[in-house]
Amino acid sequence: MKYVYPFIRQYLHSQAGILLGPEKDYLIESRLHGLLKKHSLKDLEQLVCVLESTPEGDIAAGVISSLTTHETSWFRDQRPFDRLRTEVLPQLRQQQRRQISVWSAACSTGQEIYSIAMLLRDEGMYSPMWQVSLYASDICKTALAQAERGVYNHFEIERGLAQTHRQRYFEMTPAGWRISSAVRQSVRFEAVNLTRLPDSPERFDIIFCRNVLIYFDPNTQRKVLQNLHDKLVPGGFLFLGAAESTAGLCDGFQYVGTGSGLYVRSKSLG
């Protein structure tokens, strides 16, 4: 039994880049209880046997989903959205490129990318003059499935969503509050591991990757930041969480202001 927790911790680190210490073993046990029951597994030892034989199957995906954090809300930590509206969008308008691409790199159940979509609509970016591309990803396929459905219960809809936005962009259905099809269909969703990005020439003007780096060890943080740097256009904007920083990890960013985790891609690396 002693090898079970180290194996699961190492599995989570290798597959998702997330580092859990031995003091979090209680969390592993409590969060995986439902997964064991769902798949009729006797105990964690049997789960480890499954992971060893099928490291990328449905049960493996369930482990990642159960052990990753999905905390989110509408317009979470309001200031980044204020700076997007008052500083970033005006700069992009001045460039007169008439296109904007945004990536929510750890979108969870969709509140962040849909908040961005609503803000862009409020600011008149969805017009014949602009081409808007919204992309959202997460490592957790269960969270992504809810994001794609765009349906939220009463508790979820109350967390940070103004009444005006609810009235304008949502409708009540038997399943819950559903975001409008126009907003929902404007977002492209994909399961992505930030430590191993898919090959693609796509680059973004803005990337939101907030409250993610705090779960990684420094080496993984460096790798993820370099991946994000490579996915930004020169002069593109990166929003990190307020407690996160690129300092000492990636020298290709310039910090802009204080308190909202806003960075600009300042140069090429190596």
Residue range 105-133, pLDDT digits in tens: 999 999 999 999 999 999 999 988 899 99
Same domain, 239 and 135: yes
Q: Half-sphere exposure of residue 222, counting CA atoms within 13 Å on the CB side?
A: 6
**Would you say residue 172 lies in a domain?**
yes
Same domain, 87 and 220: yes
- Give dist(CA 178, CA 150) in Å, integer: 5
pLDDT of residue 182: 96
pLDDT of residue 216: 92
Same domain, 201 and 109: yes
- Give dist(CA 196, CA 68) in Å, integer: 17
Helix (H) or strand (E) run with residue 214 in it? none
**Would you say residue 104 lies in a domain?**
yes
Token pair 């099809």: residue: 181
The whole-model pTM stands at: 0.89
Query: What are phi and psi for residue 252, nearest 5 degrees?
Result: -95, 15
pLDDT digits (tens, 9 = 90+) for 171-201: 999 999 999 999 999 999 999 999 999 888 8
Tokens of 44: 């964690």
**Would you say residue 115 lies in a domain?**
yes
Which of 67, 87, 107 is the endpoint of a domain? 67
Range of the domain at 13: 4-67
Same domain, 38 and 119: no
Average pLDDT of the chain, as a whole number: 92
**Would you say residue 270 lies in a domain?**
no
